[in-house]
Structure 1
């Protein structure tokens, strides 16, 4: 009997469109002789629906028509009953980015359903998406980072001038203002003075209620891809040639002008150090399945971890699969199968936990 694979995509997130691109690539890469593949969409309003089994290659994923009278709760219950009532061997690939997909919420639902799913668990997802919490944990174990501060909307509203003074005193200019819990460079601003800072903070607070401000690091931006559970493996490092001061949303997904360099041109000793730090980051966050670790590398070959991504963009042109192809020749389809195997392995291990006293 074939394993049933359910690919979740869309979601109530500003990264909704990126999720759709990732899902198309994953669905097309899955071996239909080995898996029965189903797509489950989540609209921007949180309405769930399914198009049933996917048997042919897709050019794009549509969300279909949602029942306007259906609430997110009712639509979720309907999809879960329709898709998982038979309880055949199955695995879920939550090809969701950002809020409600990469933050531990969907992972918690799948844990309650007791089905294996690809990627990181509740804790690592919830911490990994929160840049402030990730930085706090990394600081405790000595992972190198740029200077940073973070504050909430409530703190900013009550002590606006104090917040700006703290940023200028500890971070200075130029600095980067970021929503704590978003990816794909949404809501990120480079600020060179207080006027720009004030506008950036206002805009970033439209995407989250917590903001991180980082000191600018002059250096190359590089990435390491990590795959595994208890024994994670690291890819070679790769970098993008930047045409702007930082990779904003359009540079990553619209303009198409970024040039990846894989492997990055760095000394072997530095390469090894990046892999060691990436493995440490993965393990301290209790990672599973996959993770991408992003670095700044200065002219003096100093390393700073910028952030992690617990479910990075995974289109056919994304850095993660390209890094692994350059590392050991593994194909996109083979990586997806590896993710599925790791998900089943983790789920089987979790079933060894005893939930009763005797």
Structure 2
């Protein structure tokens, strides 16, 4: 691999979380140890066009430097060139855009849903984070909840349906949600992150409006009961023997921790560690590892929980397989307070990716042809 490990950072993307991805990529690039790594940026536009930038041997001065433009005439060529540079990265192929490992920093659709992970698998190249199945399950809130149920993890009551089902029988699904969940409740696109498309409904009129809004972002919606609870989070790191960080708490500036509260108003705060007793802390960390294993996670994930105020009961909310990764995001902050700084965390994630890739090379995918 040469004196420096060549890391391909993929960011941007055809997703509602494009700007969040750019912020993550800029933060990661600033924290890499450039004595050990050389960075190759792969920028994906909102239209899905892949554009490669020049290799970086030092951190960019501005996040705007991570955006690369290409003319309409050459856009197809740049996309093919970028993809070729991934597929030609191994087996001794000499290429100026060669990389040793891919680091996807794509939040949301086409980034943490297993699609780009499948591309890396086809290229047989190491990549950071969860695999195809874990990424897909972690992205789809419905299947994720089914995996949690199979692992006997407690969770709130929910209902889900597709747009086709909704258009066919709205009255049935409205009645079912009202009986099973009551008001208020939360409506979410099944396949999206960062609270995009999420609404709180206090009555039938708001519920219908929230469902229609969620269908802008996905063909399937999930509706969950409201729990008066604190929102606490645990970072998970590892492959076959994952470990959990200390527990942190999100204190939202809004009625709930929506996109505005996360990224715009800047008023939400974090309590690290969360003000909870040691027994509850241990239980949350154990449940985070159980959830990680339930979806066959590798690399990293952040487990989000509800801690009910009145009863103290714990309910798992979701597992984020590509959590926010700026130095001010909960995932790296929890590890920092657990004894692993940002740069060490990046090193560990790359090591875990190489470890998983090496293990996978021992699998016989062809079988005995005799």
CA contact (8 A) 2:151 2:291 kept: no
Q: 1:71 deviation in Å?
A: 6.1
Distance 2:216 2:266 in 1: 26
How many residue pairs are counted as aligned between the two chains?
356
What are structure 1's unaligned runs of at least 5 residues?
Answer: none
Distance 1:96 1:86 in 2: 20
With over 3 angstroms needed to count, the CA separation of the structure-2 counterparts of 1:84 and 1:37, relative to structure 1, is farther
Correspondence 1:127 to 2:137: yes
Distance 1:70 1:124 in 2: 35
CA contact (8 A) 2:186 2:201 kept: yes
Larger mean Cα displacement after TM superposition, 52-61 or 255-264: 52-61
Q: 1:35 deviation in Å?
A: 1.0
Correspondence 1:270 to 2:280: yes
SS across alignment from 1:246: coil
Show the 5 A alignment for 1:16-95.
16-58=18-60, 59-61=62-64, 62-69=66-73, 75-82=78-85, 85=88, 87=90, 90-95=100-105
Correspondence 1:313 to 2:324: yes
What are structure 2's unaligned runs of at least 5 residues?
Answer: 93-98
SS across alignment from 2:53: strand
Aligned position for 1:223: 233
Distance 1:76 1:115 in 2: 18
Q: 1:55 deviation in Å?
A: 2.5
Larger mean Cα displacement after TM superposition, 224-233 or 55-64: 55-64
Deviation per residue, 1:214-256 (Å, 9 max, x gap): 0001010000000000000000000122222211111111111
Aligned position for 2:204: 194
Correspondence 1:11 to 2:22: no
CA contact (8 A) 1:222 1:295 kept: yes
Larger mean Cα displacement after TM superposition, 140-149 or 49-58: 49-58
Distance 2:153 2:299 in 1: 21
Distance 1:272 1:327 in 2: 14
- For the aligned residue pairs, the C-alpha RMSD in angstroms reads 1.4
Distance 1:286 1:86 in 2: 27
CA contact (8 A) 1:47 1:70 kept: no
Q: 1:70 deviation in Å?
A: 5.1
Distance 1:124 1:192 in 2: 33
Distance 2:85 2:138 in 1: 32
Aligned position for 1:286: 296
Q: Among residues 300, 307, 323, which one is paired with 1:297 in the alignment?
A: 307
Deviation per residue, 1:12-35 (Å, 9 max, x gap): 000000000000111111111111
Distance 1:79 1:21 in 2: 21
SS across alignment from 1:221: strand
Distance 2:74 2:218 in 1: 27
Q: 1:83 deviation in Å?
A: 5.3
SS across alignment from 2:57: coil
Aligned position for 1:109: 119
Deviation per residue, 1:272-318 (Å, 9 max, x gap): 11011111000010000000000010122110011110000101110
Distance 2:285 2:115 in 1: 29
TM-score, normalization by structure 1:
0.96
CA contact (8 A) 2:70 2:78 kept: no
Q: Among residues 337, 342, 348, which one is paired with 1:332 in the alignment?
A: 342
CA contact (8 A) 1:47 1:66 kept: no
Aligned position for 2:214: 204
TM-score, normalization by structure 2:
0.93
With over 3 angstroms needed to count, the CA separation of the structure-2 counterparts of 1:170 and 1:77, relative to structure 1, is same
